[in-house]
Chains A and B, each alone.
Chain A
Amino acid sequence: MRVTINGETRNVTATRIDALLNELEYEGSHFAIALNFDVLPKSRWAETHLKAGDEIEIITPRQGG
Chain B
Amino acid sequence: MVKFYDREFSSRLLIGTALYPSPKIMQDAIRASGSQIVTVSLRRESAGGKTGDAFWSLIRELDVTVLPNTAGCKTVREAVTTAKLARELFGTPWVKLEVIADNDTLQPDVVGLVEAATILIKDGFEVFPYCTDDLGVAIRLVDAGCKVVMPWAAPIGSAKGIINRDGLRLLRDRLPDITLVVDAGLGAPSHAAQALELGYDAVLLNTAIAKADDPVAMANAFRLGVEAGRTAYQAGLMEARDFASPSTPVVGTPFWHVVS
Contact = CB atoms under 8 A, between A and B. Distances in A.
Contacts of A34: 81, 84-85
Interface residues of B, number: 41
Interface stretch (B46-54, B166-174, B194-202): B46-54
Nearest to B39: A64
Which interface class (under 10, 10 to 19, 20 to 34, 35 or more) fits A? 20 to 34
B45 A59 contact: yes
Interface stretch (B11-19, B142-150, B227-235): B11-19
Contacts of B81: 34, 37-39
Interface string A1-28: 0000011000000000000000011111
A29 to B, nearest CB: 6
B55 interface: yes
Given A63-B19, A65-B18, A26 B85 contact: no
A32 interface: yes
Interface of A: 6-7, 24-32, 34, 37-39, 41-42, 57-65
Given A6-B45, A26-B47, A65-B41, 19 more contacts: A6-B46, A26-B45, A28-B49, A28-B52, A39-B81, A39-B84, A57-B44, A58-B44, A58-B45, A59-B45, A60-B51, A61-B68, A62-B43, A63-B19, A63-B26, A63-B41, A64-B40, A64-B41, A65-B207
